[in-house]
A and B are shown apart, each in its own frame.
Chain A
Amino acid sequence: MAKIKLPSPGELGDRVRDSEVWKSIFRPGSIFRKGYKDTSRDRALATMNNVLYHLHPTKVKRHGLKLTYTFCLGGISFFLFIVLTVTGIFLMFFYRPMADVGGAQAFTDMQNIRTSVFFGDLVRNIHRWGAHLMVLSVTLHMGRVFYTGAYKPPREFNWVVGVILLFLTLGLSFTGYLLPWDQLAIWAVTVGTNLAAYSPFIAKQANFLLLGGAVVSPDTLLRWYVLHVLALPFVLVLFLAVHFWRIRKDGGISGPL
């Protein structure tokens, strides 16, 4: 019987990397493509022929890499947003925004996530702590931008976009705070939204719009859930796109000081 000679792992790897499919995914310059050379040309192509080219130019100012200039805070905020999106989607599989009389589904679902869902507790913790951390990192990022004077021309408008992002980040965090439907949630939200009742002229309307009623109720829960998982993230992503696009159009990272 003829012996079939199996390719060694090395050969197999080579063959896969030589295939049309592989080459159609990893364009010339990709570090995963056969023949990547650590040359100036391939380094530039590695960025250029990559979806990352939407975010980064092929070359960046050397001083921008210094940790003490950006402290990576904008990047960390963005990374946290991604982590929150992924963990948030996971939580959505096990959570119903219902709290009608006789059974607070939202709350029991939370208990369920903590006790019976595989890794549920960990994912919920990551989502919660990550959200607090994001508020912190966005605030600190704003501080960094201020102290480096990075809002000066031509970056004025990107600072304004940033303020909107800060507002949206707070909005996301606050709407999420209500969802566990425990004592902490509804009372923190009651205290926070009571302030809206003092808006001039539109006090009643503002409160009604926010809460879907006069007080925090199951209608509020549904409303805030939709804001939290859909409306606000959507708007935030739009503004993020503008934010990142403007960084490049404004000539990359500011400075050096």
Chain B
Amino acid sequence: MPRDDVPLDQATFDRVLAEELAKGTDRRVAEGRARSAAVRAHRAANPDAHAEAAPAPAAGTAPAAAAAAPAAAPAAKPAPAPPAVAAGVAVAAPLTVPQREAPLPTGNLPTPKKGAPDKHRLLAIVPPEGIMRVEREQGDRVHTWPHLLIEEFIAALIVFAGLVVFSTFINAPLREVANPNLTPNPSKAPWYFLGLQELLRYFHPMIAGITIPTFILVGLAAVPYVDRNPSVKPGDRKVAITLFTILFMFGSVLTIIGSFFRGPGYNWVWPWAQGVFFEL
């Protein structure tokens, strides 16, 4: 649907839209292209109507001309405004860029270093319709407001409601005051470290407590640099997915064992028979 806040040429819009659709372009992209073509067509047909929207040629080139004013002699060849003069001036030039007779720099401008690129692109010429032109594939996009924000809001609400209800009915534990001389049996780390504590049963503490955790963290961080397979399709990533799933399951199983299947003396218990020795 053409928006009504920018004037555009309806005939061009319809024609380009039909063309793009015939090419099989996505409808959103097609509409964008049709709109930008229509805006440009409208501007080309009514140059005066946009006088205040886009600075007139004279106004657009004014800073460059003013800076170069002392050198009244016209330049030998038409050159784009020299960088030093144009620096910092972003000009919205009109549709057809006029041939500018910019004089060559006089004064003592610094001589460029040898081998330096002979042009510094400090000035961008932005055609008036530029900000409306569809430059890249828009893809299938929706507005953040309301679509995404409402979704995020609802997710936050659900989590918060769940947390409040849970916290109303279930108290966080608070045992007796700390006593360094009285070791509880069993003594367990917080649940997210129980996988490591479980490993202590099988390995030397240096392996279980230092080597393996370091390896996990460094290994995780290295994942994107090791897995150079560019595809994100699950079918193309069988090895990566299998490895990760095995490791993830391994960690989960160790954590569950450490949490629920270990009792006094950190010995094996069946939670349904001897009870659960686990606190959060």
CA A60 to CA B155, docked complex, whole Å: 17
Contact of A183 with B176 at beta-carbon distance under 8 Å, contacts A58-B143, A200-B206 already known? yes
Which residues in chain A, 134-175, are within 8 Å of chain B measured between CB atoms? 135, 142-143, 146-153, 155-156, 159-160, 163-164, 166-167, 170, 173-174
Closest to A217 in B: B180
State whether A177 touches B190 (Cβ < 8 A).
yes
State whether B192 touches A170 (Cβ < 8 A).
yes
State whether A199 touches B163 (Cβ < 8 A).
no
State whether B177 touches A195 (Cβ < 8 A).
no
CA A200 to CA B170, docked complex, whole Å: 42
CA A150 to CA B209, docked complex, whole Å: 30
Contact of A188 with B190 at beta-carbon distance under 8 Å, contacts A122-B167, A182-B176 already known? yes
* CB of A240 closer than 8 Å to a CB of B: no
On chain B, the residues within 8 Å of A122 by CB distance are 164, 167-168
CA A186 to CA B174, docked complex, whole Å: 12
A43, A110, A143, most chain B CB atoms within 10 A: A43
State whether B155 touches A79 (Cβ < 8 A).
yes
CA A59 to CA B166, docked complex, whole Å: 36
CA A153 to CA B144, docked complex, whole Å: 24
State whether A173 touches B230 (Cβ < 8 A).
no
On chain A, the residues within 8 Å of B220 by CB distance are 142, 163, 166
Which listed residue, B183, B196, B232, B237, touches A187 by the CB 8 Å rule? B183
* CB of B107 closer than 8 Å to a CB of A: no
CA A6 to CA B167, docked complex, whole Å: 46
CA A165 to CA B209, docked complex, whole Å: 20
Which residues in chain B, 223-273, are within 8 Å of chain A measured between CB atoms? 223-225, 227, 229-234, 237, 241, 244, 248
Tally chain A residues at the interface, Cβ within 8 Å.
90
User: Which stretch in A9-17, A61-69, A224-232 binds the other chain?
Assistant: A61-69
Closest to B162 in A: A133
* CB of A99 closer than 8 Å to a CB of B: yes
On chain A, the residues within 8 Å of B145 by CB distance are 31, 43, 46-47
On chain B, the residues within 8 Å of A133 by CB distance are 159, 163
On chain B, the residues within 8 Å of A135 by CB distance are 192
Which residues in chain A, 106-147, are within 8 Å of chain B measured between CB atoms? 107, 110-111, 114, 121-122, 124-126, 128-130, 132-133, 135, 142-143, 146-147
Which residues in chain A, 52-84, are within 8 Å of chain B measured between CB atoms? 52, 56-65, 67, 72, 75-76, 79-80, 83
State whether B178 touches A59 (Cβ < 8 A).
no
Q: How far is the CB of B238 from chain A (nearest CB, A)?
A: 12
State whether A192 touches B190 (Cβ < 8 A).
yes
Which listed residue, B143, B148, B159, B171, touches A79 by the CB 8 Å rule? B159
State whether A111 touches B174 (Cβ < 8 A).
yes
B208, B221, B230, B241, most chain A CB atoms within 10 A: B221
On chain B, the residues within 8 Å of A190 by CB distance are 187
Q: How far is the CB of A202 from chain B (nearest CB, A)?
A: 10
CA A161 to CA B280, docked complex, whole Å: 28
State whether B279 touches A47 (Cβ < 8 A).
no
Closest to B218 in A: A163
* CB of A255 closer than 8 Å to a CB of B: yes
Closest to B244 in A: A146
Contact of A61 with B139 at beta-carbon distance under 8 Å, contacts A76-B155, A191-B197 already known? yes
Q: How far is the CB of B211 from chain A (nearest CB, A)?
A: 9
On chain B, the residues within 8 Å of A61 by CB distance are 139-142
* CB of B147 closer than 8 Å to a CB of A: yes
CA A67 to CA B154, docked complex, whole Å: 12
Q: How far is the CB of B256 from chain A (nearest CB, A)?
A: 13
On chain A, the residues within 8 Å of B208 by CB distance are 195
State whether A215 touches B180 (Cβ < 8 A).
yes
Q: How far is the CB of B243 from chain A (nearest CB, A)?
A: 10
Which residues in chain B, 29-85, are within 8 Å of chain A measured between CB atoms? none
State whether B174 touches A72 (Cβ < 8 A).
no
Identify the 8 closest CB pairs spanning chains A and B, nearest first.
A195-B209, A149-B232, A125-B167, A156-B224, A128-B172, A59-B141, A46-B145, A186-B178
14 A-B pairs besides A167-B217, A184-B184 with CB distance below 8 A are A40-B3, A59-B138, A63-B140, A72-B151, A104-B178, A121-B171, A128-B280, A129-B170, A151-B227, A159-B223, A177-B190, A188-B188, A195-B200, A198-B210
